[in-house]
Structure 1
């Protein structure tokens, strides 16, 4: 059984990925700081579910604590590391930017050092569609430049990509960075739009709709996302010998390093997303239309052709179906 070390297993995406890998017979060791950026009880419930399986173990610790991280990774001795833990939240980075440097830069460096020492078969790390920043040509493609980040959160993630490329080149460390696009689904974070909207509408509170609803997002259902990660585990990049790269591939000419978009390849208007939530709940929202938030962008949309070419897979869940699954989970979880 292949052993996979995952950071952030008490988080939204890490929980779902661990659950999928366990179901396929992998041995998984989770590492999570249980930070209080949002409800720690939700995080603990995720871990409790995972710990019901003998193939899962978990350790609580901070990525910035290199001694603890190294001890856990060395004891587990994984073949694959999937680094998902981060200080999340675009808007929170406006209030507390230092938290992003500590977790996303120093923490990621410690993970890369562990991967280098153990010479893992494949290091996979989460980036974000936010690195595309002010780019306007859509759908976003991995081969286009991404040098205009608009928030500290996005800047730290782009820094992670640059750091990872250097490590892949220097140590021949096979590394895949995946850029996520607006992930949603059951067990989601309370600070994400879908969770906030459903919670507010059921309680009769108004919802804030930025840029007066003239926004588009590539909503990606979490089960589709983790399925894509699972398939990418088996597609470790190989340093090209002749510097020849297939057209459309983001493989580095000088390192076993690749960036892959994971998105639904479909942009959905925010107002259509809200309409679908209302229809699913059978209740209208009180809408508070607002201007654009600092650091936000009017649209994101993924070109996921590379993911399809590498794995034969493309996310496909319609946002209406995904919303229905989230609402079903939320009503049970929150008792509403």
Structure 2
């Protein structure tokens, strides 16, 4: 039986991953600090779903708490660590940069140290498509240079990749980084566009459409992301590259970017109501397009995300109506 530590277990992707692992028979320890970046009630409701399962246990803990993290790793032997906890959000990183340093840098060092001292067999951690910045070459390949992030959030994720590589090289910790592309679906994050748009349209309020809608995003349905995470968890990277580190990076994206205005049209169809659009300029830190090259993922784990937005958005709207009783 595999014992997996899922950090950010009360978060969007962490919740879905933990459910999937429990369903297949894993023992899952979830860690989350339940911070108030967005509504804590939603996080607690996700957590309540997981706590119905006898193979799940939960630890409320801040990643930046060094003593607490040391105790967490000393108390259990984890076969795999799926590190999905982070301070998320590009725009928020302009308002509260210290939150990103505490969670994404200090917290990640504590994860790496835990993996090092407890001999974890595989660390799988969340990176982000944000690391590509304003990369002009599309689709974005893991072979591309990512030395020009345009937000502190992106810089923190790039730093995570470098830190994990260092530990992988020094201590032979198998590590896999996953660059997620605009993940959406049921139980999603309230700070994401799809959630914000749905809430506003149902309430008859205007939506803020940045860059006048002239943006394309590789919207990736959460079940596809979880499938990619699970498959990479079971694929230990061999020693490779000049460093000989057992380390690998993958993109997990839908490989078919969609215009923001097209996404809004699909959402309007699913809700049955037109949006009132407030057209605005591009926000600092935003990028005009994200587009994932997933050839490495297909080659190594035999999987490619492919849920159309028409299917994924319909499922999200159904969940939203049921959860908020709209």
Q: TM-score, normalised by structure 1?
A: 0.96
- 1:246 aligned partner: none
Matches within 5 A, 1:260-299: 260-299=250-289
Gaps of 5+ in 2: none
1:220 aligns with 2:210: no
Contact 2:134/2:288 (8 A) holds in 1? no
CA deviation map 1:275-321 (0-9, x unaligned): 00000111000000010001111000000111111111111100110
CA deviation map 1:198-234 (0-9, x unaligned): 0000000000001001100000000000111001011
Cα distance in 2 for partners of 1:45, 1:138 equals 38
How much has 1:186 moved relative to structure 2? 0.2
- 1:97 aligned partner: 97
- 2:195 aligned partner: 195
Cα distance in 2 for partners of 1:102, 1:298 equals 28
Contact 1:29/1:76 (8 A) holds in 2? no
Root-mean-square deviation (CA, aligned residues, Å) is 0.8
Cα distance in 2 for partners of 1:299, 1:135 equals 9
Matched residue SS, 1:259: strand
Contact 2:169/2:243 (8 A) holds in 1? no
Cα distance in 2 for partners of 1:68, 1:47 equals 20
- 1:321 aligned partner: 311
Contact 2:7/2:14 (8 A) holds in 1? yes
1:176 aligns with 2:176: yes
How much has 1:254 moved relative to structure 2? 2.4
How much has 1:118 moved relative to structure 2? 1.0
Matched residue SS, 1:53: coil
- 1:20 aligned partner: 20
- 1:247 aligned partner: none
CA deviation map 1:139-175 (0-9, x unaligned): 0000111011000000011011111111000001100
Cα distance in 1 for partners of 2:119, 2:73 equals 12
CA deviation map 1:243-293 (0-9, x unaligned): 5xxxxxxxx652111110000001100000000000011100000001000
Cα distance in 2 for partners of 1:302, 1:18 equals 25
1:163 aligns with 2:163: yes
Runs of 4+ aligned residues of structure 1 deviating over 4 Å after TM superposition are: none
Matches within 5 A, 1:65-144: 65-144=65-144
**Count of paired positions:** 326
Contact 1:267/1:300 (8 A) holds in 2? yes
Cα distance in 1 for partners of 2:160, 2:107 equals 10
- 1:234 aligned partner: 234
Gaps of 5+ in 1: 244-251
Contact 1:13/1:84 (8 A) holds in 2? yes
Matches within 5 A, 1:28-47: 28-47=28-47
Cα distance in 1 for partners of 2:11, 2:74 equals 23
Matched residue SS, 1:13: helix
Matches within 5 A, 1:300-319: 300-319=290-309
Cα distance in 2 for partners of 1:290, 1:159 equals 31
